[in-house]
Amino acid sequence: MAEKKYQLECDNPYKILASLIVGLDEPSDVVRIMYDDAYILNRIIKETRSQDMRGRFTDCIIESILEEKSRMEYMRRLDELSKYYFSKLDKSRLRKEIEASLKEAGVDISGLVD
């Protein structure tokens, strides 16, 4: 039975993300994630822009885009993708998982966030 619980926790992408945020981010950034949607969107934009989304076809296409000096349009399109990702993020679920992860670590932030 314990194995099944462990398996479910490992299959929970929000729990994994919350653990990474709590474990790797600065405390001030963790608190900002708890109440600042714009901060989360900016983090997603930075991640999306830095992803290596290369493959056989996309290598060719991206190189052509960059040769045509269309980098700014490419970045705008990646920002649109970021906004789509942001719209799909269950922020309340993430925040609950962060709070649970902090509580598990013995950190109480109830006075810092609404």
| Distance of alpha carbon 59 from alpha carbon 57, whole angstroms | 5
- pLDDT above 70 coverage of the chain, percent: 88
| Distance of alpha carbon 60 from alpha carbon 105, whole angstroms | 47
Identify the pLDDT of residue 68: 87
Token output for 112: 């810092």
Identify the pLDDT of residue 52: 83
pLDDT tens sequence across 24-73: 999 999 999 999 999 999 999 999 999 887 899 999 999 999 888 899 99
Judged against a pLDDT cut of 70, whether residue 111 lies above it is answered with no
Token output for 99: 């709070």
